[in-house]
Amino acid sequence: TAAVEALRTIGPVVAALGAVLLFDHMTRRRGLDPPGFREPLRRIAATSLVAFSFYVGVFAAVGTIGRQGEIDLSQLSSWQLFALHALFALTIVGWWMAGFLAVPRPVPDMSAVAAEPVGETAASSAAGPSTGWRSFAEQLGMRTPNLRRELALGMVAGVGAWLAVLCAVFVFALVLSALSGEELLPQAPPAVIPWLAGRPILLRLAIAASAGLVEEAFFRGFLQPRIGIALSTVFFALAHLSYDQPIMLVGVTLLSLLYGLLTRWRQNIWPAIVAHFLFDAIQLLVVIPAVLELFQPSAP
């Protein structure tokens, strides 16, 4: 009906606006408001960019629930596979530029310094923000004293996450079957999955690398410190809602939670980047092609 279609269109827009207002509120409450946001135009520009990313990358898929039809994969070019990641990267860079780049240093009121709270916010207001790409890496949790150790830990975590998700999805499928919920079990993967598995190896590796780096920078490095693990996990799951299969969303949600906990533990996103890349690479290069080959009907 027209009302349902209107809700499909308006709902994601309203959700994105609500999400960005919550994001801005929680950022301020946690003392992570960038110094550049003292200028209202900088705040408006940055939050508008975040809202657009929320709409396109997180909530737009909600409006497609229940709609019939698949993406016309014959019209999908390779560069489009990276379009959403490019938007996430642009959002992070734009937000940082608005908040930290070329911010004029205020003249400190020495009579008020003693009354200011102790912490990063007070220090930045008195001494002025640090600028440059070093502060960009710090904002995303990409600085660590021992990068090699974090990368190695990410490899171990990636294999562990893959095994954990495999077991969780298997148990979930068994429970659904026991409860007579076979109709919720996928009879076939989404068309885009075998299509991706058929792309050239280097392209599949590039997709896995882009997903690992950009999605972890956006959801774990950018969103998680500001809105927390729970909300960033929900947003990550919604971003993958286009799979339209509950059993796949179970795996995606569990992965997001594991990556969030790993990031909180290590205080940087490099282990999560490697773990995410490794999981996607195993799926695209090994698991999915093997499963498709196993169940492919043999020629008469």
Question: Does residue 151 belong to any structural domain of this protein?
Answer: yes
Neighbours of 102 (CB within 10 A): 8
Structure confidence at residue 111 (pLDDT): 47
Question: Does residue 300 belong to any structural domain of this protein?
Answer: no
Q: Which of 217, 196, 175 is nearest to 280 (CA)?
A: 196
- The tens digit of pLDDT for each residue in 20-56 reads 999 999 999 999 999 999 999 999 999 999 999 999 9
The model's confidence at residue 115, banded by pLDDT at 50, 70 and 90, is very low
Average pLDDT in the chain: 83
> Residue 93: which domain range?
2-106+115-295
In terms of C-beta density within 10 A (0-12 exposed, 13-18 middle, 19 or more buried), how is residue 169 classed? middle
Q: Which of 26, 96, 13, 86 is nearest to 52 (CA)?
A: 13
Two tokens at 20? Answer: 């960005």
**Position 259, amino acid:** Y
Question: Does residue 285 belong to any structural domain of this protein?
Answer: yes
Question: Does residue 190 belong to any structural domain of this protein?
Answer: yes
What is the number of structural domains in the chain? Answer: 1
- The tens digit of pLDDT for each residue in 240-277 reads 887 667 778 888 999 999 999 999 999 999 999 999 99
Cα–Cα distance measured from residue 62 to residue 55, given in angstroms and rounded to the nearest whole number? 10
Structure confidence at residue 73 (pLDDT): 67
Q: H/E element holding 154? A: helix 147-178
Q: H/E element holding 266? A: helix 246-266
Question: Does residue 232 belong to any structural domain of this protein?
Answer: yes
Interacting residues of 143 by C-beta distance below 8 A, sequence separation 6+? 134, 137, 268
Percentage, residues of the chain above pLDDT 70:
80
